[in-house]
Chains A and B, each alone.
Chain A
Amino acid sequence: MVATYTFRPLLVKLVPKVRLKGLTLAGTIMVLFTVFLAILAPILTPYDPTKSVDLSLQPPSWKHPFGTNKVGQDMWSRTVYGARTILAVVFLSTIVSIVIGVPLGLVSGYVGGILDRVLAMIMDAMYAFPGLILAIAIAAALGPGIINTAVSIAIVYVPTYFRMVRAQTLSIKEQLYVEAARAIGAKPLTILTRYVFPNVVSVIAVVFTLSVADVVLTEAALSFFGLSVPAPTPDWGFDLKAGHPYLLSGYWWLITFPGLMIMILAVGFTFIGEGVAEYLGAREVKI
């Protein structure tokens, strides 16, 4: 099949050239560790993260390695299950951003004209605006929940995908093979899906690796503001906020572990992004 043939070189081009060493390797391990916690959560934790299982505010011990919080929930269980929440939101919001941003970028870049100018202007305006503040406004309007949080974050990152895909489309549509396809009478839709789209797949992958750390931090922030998932669901940002008032009394374990996990995931993705950016450095692809 033609499609698989055109797809292959792109993925093959990107993956092995980013060598798994140094920062990239460290980043991959950090992200895989979080994924591992999320998948194995029921095996790794002895307690229900949403239920009160012991006295409140117990310091770390063999029974509760990360202590317990005000409600008496086991912080280890909450920290492990929290990986599920944040990864689910990151995954969903990325899908939504791609589903909206990529087709718009393709059409805008290919069709051009007034449509392109208007879309580009809207996306540029959104791009320049502080993402978190936009996400806060949308999340406040939509209300709590995993889907709503994912949508709030997704809208903020649509312009990022749009801009890169549009720029790539603009250069691809000048290529000879697109010209040839047009000459033999291929319809615009065919050209976009069969000739242009396979060549922006690598760009989508790049935008993902370079922006995913920001998505993680945005989710953590919304959750910290109480605008993400509703209360008993374990979520790192929310637990950080809930532990904050007890800081003055020296209950350090309430804030240390959820925050550490946010950092491990965000830094992990950043390191992977660094590796990809380094490889692309010579090719002048900037986000």
Chain B
Amino acid sequence: MASLKAFIIARVLALIPTVLILITLVFFVMRVLPGDPVIAIVGMKAPPERVIELKKELGLMDEAGNPIPLPIQYLNYLSKLARGDFGRSLIWGKRPVLVEIMEHFPATVELAIAGFIVSIILGLLLGSLGGWMGGKTSSAVKTYGAITYALFIPWIGMLLQLFFAVWLGILPVAGRIDTGLEPPTITGLYLIDSVITGRWDSFISALRHITLPALTLGLVISGVFTRVTRTSVEEVMRQDFVVAARARGIPEHKILLHVLKNSFVPILTMMGLQLALLMTGAVLTETTFSWPGMGTFLLERIQYRDYTTVQGTVVFFAIIVSLVNLIVDICYAYIDPRIRY
């Protein structure tokens, strides 16, 4: 397995420039602000001491009160990041940004996983149905894929809220769990924590709250999976072994099993590639359902002009996306040795 090891090392090394590029991009984007960000935060009438204090907090000025040039600011920021220091929030007790991010991250992970599961179920079912049946069913499934891909998440979320929460009143409108029912933190994922600690009332509450957001996110992402599954199944169906199996009178459901097994690698790759879509979708779903995750957090802090937190959160997103892409690549190389070249 030496070649797999070499592939992993090469891939990890390639990760460094990618993350660095994104951090640099975010750093400079946050500094192209027209006008003075400091004035934007404290207001025009702020006392000069407050302005200087804030400039020090933002790393624009050193302790003696001299302005720090931009390249030095950038290097300082990088060296702090390398030590895991994302800076401190500018509002509400000035807590470390990374601590605040870690409080919101599990909620996003839980929503993303739930949405992902919904989309896989929908995608595999509809996709293999379309690929297996062909003809009109295939076209219908294709149209479903095109429409769901273009749905605007907040709108679908609101329609579900209107129907299930307001008109039928059977599911909660928003939030992550009923107040007071939060399970003790182990993984940070309420559904899992409540099972581990055996708190079934918490589990039911968390499940009821996650249903609509997960359905919204899953529905929108399912379009891509439906498409890949359908084309992949259709391709495998054309292969000789299917014809041979049919000629030998093997029951259809057994053939379907073989077809699905053989269509799995492209489906798996596609799942990894959908991470960016999943993140984007999660941000939109969160804000629609007041889900206390990274997206809600990011947009709330944009409103309060908490620049260090905004910058830190976007950088965190960049690191997470790059890491997950790395893991997907390694998994794929493990499954399909041709990838390792």
Q: Does B257 contact A (CB under 8 A)?
A: no
Cβ of A129 and Cβ of B280 under 8 Å apart? no
Secondary structure dominating the interface of B: helix
Q: How far is the CA of A134 from the CA of B28 in the complex (A)?
A: 12
Taking the closest CB of chain A, its distance from the CB of B158, in whole angstroms, is 5
Q: Does A164 contact B (CB under 8 A)?
A: no
B159 CB contacts on chain A under 8 angstroms = 255-256, 259
Cβ of B34 and Cβ of A142 under 8 Å apart? yes
Cβ of A23 and Cβ of B287 under 8 Å apart? no
Q: Does A270 contact B (CB under 8 A)?
A: yes
Q: Does B26 contact A (CB under 8 A)?
A: yes
A217 CB contacts on chain B under 8 angstroms = 150, 152
Total interface residues on A, using CB and 8 Å? 49
B327 CB contacts on chain A under 8 angstroms = none
Q: How far is the CA of A233 from the CA of B191 in the complex (A)?
A: 42
What does the 1/0 interface line of B266-296 toward A look like (CB < 8 Å)? 0000000000110110011001100000000
Which residue of chain A lies nearest to B223 when distances are taken between CB atoms in the complex?
A270
Which residue of chain A lies nearest to B231 when distances are taken between CB atoms in the complex?
A281
A225 CB contacts on chain B under 8 angstroms = 287, 299, 302
Q: Does B264 contact A (CB under 8 A)?
A: no
With contacts A128-B321, A252-B162 taken as known, whether A259 is within 8 angstroms of B155 at the C-beta atoms is: yes
| Total residue contacts A-B, CB cutoff 8 A | 139
Q: Does B113 contact A (CB under 8 A)?
A: no
Cβ of B150 and Cβ of A269 under 8 Å apart? yes
Interface size class of B (residues with CB under 8 A): 35 or more
Taking the closest CB of chain A, its distance from the CB of B299, in whole angstroms, is 6
Q: Does A60 contact B (CB under 8 A)?
A: no
Cβ of B321 and Cβ of A266 under 8 Å apart? no
Cβ of A125 and Cβ of B18 under 8 Å apart? yes
Cβ of B158 and Cβ of A255 under 8 Å apart? yes
Cβ of B143 and Cβ of A125 under 8 Å apart? no
With contacts A126-B22, A128-B321, A247-B166 taken as known, whether A274 is within 8 angstroms of B154 at the C-beta atoms is: no
With contacts A132-B284, A137-B26 taken as known, whether A267 is within 8 angstroms of B158 at the C-beta atoms is: no
A271 CB contacts on chain B under 8 angstroms = 146
A274 CB contacts on chain B under 8 angstroms = 142, 146
- Return 19 A-B CB contacts under 8 Å, by A number: A23-B146, A126-B22, A128-B18, A128-B276, A128-B325, A129-B318, A130-B321, A133-B283, A133-B298, A136-B302, A140-B302, A213-B149, A240-B154, A250-B166, A259-B155, A263-B155, A266-B152, A267-B147, A270-B150
